[in-house]
């Protein structure tokens, strides 16, 4: 806050120190209120948590002790019911068989009964039934070792004229485990006199599981313990990561006393307690008072901050949703604002662009001068607004892309121009679509040229048949005249006559071959089924070898022919395959017609290709020692009308591949190290 000028009223100058002091005092008091609020809230929360934990722990401990007392009562009541059941059974005076049946039925209902015995007054066992849920636990030795304890228990039961219980003891099993058991002895009374005893053997573990599992065992761990804390039987499990609560209760039985222990675990208070001490109430009143003071002081500020945040969020959402790049510059040409779309276009972050001036980091190096002149014209205000123009920008990764730019003056709230606002559209996709359209037009034109070439080939094949037939006829007639002259008696044949005869024979053979080529081309253009025959690979090579040798002598090329032995015949259109081999050989020799080629050797190698179980193949390799084929040329080598020769038409290799593929094979090429190129095509063999 600035001090008022000395030219103001003296009264205001006198009040200025007091106003400044009041402002500082208000600020300090506000900070103190915030500290007081924080301290009160922390104290309140700590107190509430502590009180709630104590209250909840006391409630749960009381509940656990009540459950322990109820559990002891349930067990004692269940044992008394067992005694009453046996007394009613003895009162029926059943036979031994009926008694066994009744006891077996009762043992099926009570899993905690391990064995029920009927003994006489001397303690000898007359009848017994074992639990159907376990293997027999006792043998003669086991019962003999406990005989004295059982007799004492039965004597006590006779004296009490009711059930008596023995001390607990451990029974081991064959698996190495075991469990604690307890005996109950009940005297048999008939006509007021004791005639014997009924002895029940209980499993302490099963007493807990059957009597308390449904009510208490689901949420607690229940166990019988000795006075020193040793556990005799345990039922239920508890997680070890919670607070432990324990309650114990004595269970007095006639002749024995057991201790029942119940363990429970809880994390903390589940519900907030309803009873709060007076301290919490006082803290709450103080907290509300402080909050009222702070709310009155900060309500207007919060509203202003909220309005500003909403405006900024709305503007940010608009900026993030735009796909058009935006850039603002001041009157000196420095960048003052860029949106995320523009940063994504050029690949630079906003921190790298803000404050930058010409030359910009997204300008191509060779266009910096032109862009600076264009920017000078824009900043001078000579260009009309909303006029779009195209340009090229450079991304951070070095790639270039075309953009369409629209610029307009940037006017502030008072109507003064503070700079220029530019909008950028990435037109790379538009250029790509235009390029695809141009490529499609070129393909259509190439297709039209192919159709024209097909018509011309069909027409030429039809027109050339007659002169070729005439050449063949004249050659045949000349051979006939020479033969007649040789047959005249007394005539001597000059040496030149034999050479003339050989030349005429070759003229006739080549004329016939040319006719076959013309017919094959005619059939190929018309897409007719071509006649295929089984031909030896050597015969195909021998057919084109004279023409290849003739051109090899002209170009000073050495010819090497390698044909593997025992090759099977190939099934093909002989004339067309010969033309393929001849075309590849001529191309190879022309590739070596270069001053840098020193090793001018053309190799024709015929061998057996890799085959599967259904078909075998013969491979024809034509290898030259030329300068090789670059990667760019290799990608378009088989494209129609593509050629590297000044006088070529670009159809030779394309037609060769078509012929080979019509036979089911494939034509390919690869570099032949150290220099040269290998052309390879395959043909199927005769079945």
Segment 259-279, tens digit of pLDDT: 988 888 665 444 444 444 556
DSSP for residue 685: B
Q: Give the Cα separation of 223 and 232 in Å (integer).
A: 7
Fold of 322-426: Beta-Lactamase (3.30.450)
Q: HEC string of 542-601?
A: HHHHHHHHHHHHHHCCEEEEEECCCCCCEEECHHHHHHHHHHHHHHHHHHCCCCCCCCCE
For every residue of 107-155, which 3-state class applies, written as one string?
HHHCCCEEEEEEECCCCCEEEEEECCCCCCCCCHHHHHHCHHHHHHHHH
Residue bearing the bigger pLDDT, 66 or 649: 66
Per-residue pLDDT, 12:
40
Q: How confident is the model at residue 146 (pLDDT cuts 50, 70, 90)?
A: confident
pLDDT of residue 231: 86
pLDDT for 547 equals: 82
Rounded Cα gap, residues 411 and 508, in angstroms = 93
Looking at domain 447-528, does it have CATH number 1.10.287.130? yes
pLDDT tens-place string over residues 211-223:
876 777 677 888 8
**Domain extents in the chain:** 71-266, 322-426, 447-528, 531-684
CA–CA distance, 437 with 119 (Å, rounded to integer): 111
User: What confidence tier does 6 reach under pLDDT thresholds 50, 70, 90?
Assistant: very low
pLDDT in tens, 329-351: 888 888 888 888 888 888 888 78
State if pTM tops 0.85.
no
pLDDT in tens, 346-398: 888 878 888 887 788 888 878 777 877 877 777 676 555 566 777 888 888 88
How far is CA 680 from its chain centroid?
42
Domains 71-266 and 322-426 share a fold: yes
| pLDDT the model gives residue 219 | 73
CATH numeric code, 71-266: 3.30.450.20
- Output the pLDDT for position 274: 46
- Mean of pLDDT values over 1-27: 47
With CA atoms as reference, report the closest residue to 541 among 527, 511, 562, 557: 562
- Give the helix/strand (H/E) hosting 47: helix 10-91
CATH domain 531-684 topology: Heat Shock Protein 90 (3.30.565)
Indicate whether 125 pLDDT > 80.
yes
């Amino acid at each position: 806050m600035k001090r008022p000028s000395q030219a103001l009223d003296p009264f205001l100058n006198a009040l200025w120190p007091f106003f400044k002091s009041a402002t500082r005092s208000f600020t300090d008091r506000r900070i103190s209120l915030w500290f007081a609020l924080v301290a009160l809230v922390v104290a309140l929360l700590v107190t509430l948590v502590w009180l709630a934990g104590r209250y909840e722990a006391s409630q749960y401990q009381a509940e656990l002790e009540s459950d322990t007392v109820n559990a002891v009562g349930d067990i004692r009541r269940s044992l008394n019911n067992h005694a009453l059941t046996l007394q009613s059974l003895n009162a029926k005076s059943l036979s031994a068989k009926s008694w066994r049946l009744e006891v077996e039925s009762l043992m099926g209902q009570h899993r905690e009964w391990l064995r029920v015995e009927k003994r006489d007054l001397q303690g000898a066992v007359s009848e017994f039934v074992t639990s159907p849920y376990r293997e027999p636990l006792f043998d003669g030795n086991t019962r003999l070792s406990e005989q004295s304890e059982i007799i004492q228990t039965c004597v006590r039961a006779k004296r009490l004229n009711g059930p008596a219980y023995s001390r607990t003891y451990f029974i081991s099993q064959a698996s190495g485990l075991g469990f604690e058991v307890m005996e109950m002895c009940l005297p048999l009374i008939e006509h007021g006199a004791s005639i014997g005893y009924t002895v029940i053997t209980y499993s302490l573990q099963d007493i807990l599981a059957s009597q308390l599992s449904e009510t208490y065992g689901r949420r607690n761990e229940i166990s019988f313990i000795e006075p020193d804390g040793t556990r005799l039987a345990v039922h239920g499990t508890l997680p070890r990561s919670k607070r432990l609560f324990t309650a114990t209760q004595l269970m007095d039985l006639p002749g024995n006393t057991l201790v029942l222990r119940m363990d429970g675990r809880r994390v903390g208070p589940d519900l907030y307690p309803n009873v709060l001490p007076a301290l919490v109430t006082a803290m709450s009143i103080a907290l509300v008072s402080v909050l009222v003071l702070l709310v009155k002081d900060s309500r207007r500020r919060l509203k202003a901050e909220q309005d500003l945040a909403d405006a900024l969020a709305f503007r940010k959402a608009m900026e993030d949703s735009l796909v058009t790049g935006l850039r603002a510059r001041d009157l000196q040409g420095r960048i003052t604002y860029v949106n995320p779309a523009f940063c994504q276009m050029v690949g630079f972050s906003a921190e790298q662009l803000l404050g930058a001036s010409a030359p910009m980091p997204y300008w191509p190096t060779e266009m910096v001068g032109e862009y600076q002149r264009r920017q000078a014209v824009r900043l001078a205000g000579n260009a009309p607004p909303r006029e779009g123009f195209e340009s090229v920008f450079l991304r951070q990764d070095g790639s270039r892309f075309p953009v369409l730019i629209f610029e307009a003056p940037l006017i502030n709230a008072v109507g003064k121009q503070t700079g220029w606002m530019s909008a950028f559209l990435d037109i790379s996709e538009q250029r790509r679509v235009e390029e695809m359209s141009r490529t499609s037009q070129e393909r259509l034109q190439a297709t039209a040229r192919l159709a024209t070439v097909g018509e011309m080939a069909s027409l030429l094949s039809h027109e050339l048949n007659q002169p070729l037939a005439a050449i063949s006829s004249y050659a045949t007639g000349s051979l006939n005249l020479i033969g007649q002259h040789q047959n005249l008696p007394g005539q001597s044949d000059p040496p030149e006559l034999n050479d003339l005869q050989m030349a005429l024979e070759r003229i006739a053979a080549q004329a016939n071959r040319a006719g076959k080529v013309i017919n094959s081309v005619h059939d190929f253009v018309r897409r007719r089924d071509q006649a295929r025959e089984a031909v030896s690979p050597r015969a195909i090579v021998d057919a084109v070898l004279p023409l290849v040798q003739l051109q090899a002598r002209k170009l000073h090329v050495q010819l090497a022919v390698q044909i593997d032995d025992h090759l099977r015949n190939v099934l093909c259109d002989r004339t067309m395959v010969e033309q393929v081999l001849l075309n590849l050989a001529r191309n190879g020799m022309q590739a070596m017609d270069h001053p840098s080629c020193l090793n001018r050797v053309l190799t024709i190698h015929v061998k057996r290709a890799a085959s599967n179980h259904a078909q075998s193949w013969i491979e024809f390799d034509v290898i030259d020692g030329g300068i090789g084929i670059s990667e760019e040329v290799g990608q378009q080598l088989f494209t129609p009308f593509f050629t590297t020769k000044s006088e070529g038409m670009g159809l030779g290799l394309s037609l060769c591949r078509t012929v080979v593929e019509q036979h089911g094979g494939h034509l390919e090429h690869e570099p032949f190290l150290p220099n040269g190129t290998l052309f390879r095509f395959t043909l199927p063999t005769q079945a």
